[in-house]
Amino acid sequence: MKSVFFIAIGVGIGFALARSITRTSDGSHLISGIDARAKAFTGAIASGYRAREAELRRRATA
């Protein structure tokens, strides 16, 4: 129960910090860059997953 409390505190602090950073133009630019890199990363993971799944399906039907 103690760890859940600390996770909640960490999430709250992170949210407050991100909110204060996005109030400046440089901070907003920084956050948008991080967001773009995160989306590119998750897109690459999803693409690799789909490619591997298709490869396994081809093997299963062959």
Spell out the domain ranges in the chain.
Answer: 2-61
**pLDDT 10s digits, 35-56:** 999 999 999 999 999 999 999 9
pLDDT computed for residue 12 by the predictor: 96
CA distances from 20 to 9, 16, 33, 43, 53 (A): 17, 6, 16, 28, 41
Q: Which stretches of 1-62 are DSSP H helices?
A: 2-21, 25-61
pLDDT computed for residue 1 by the predictor: 80
* pTM of the predicted protein model: 0.64
**Residue 56 in tokens:** 């396994």
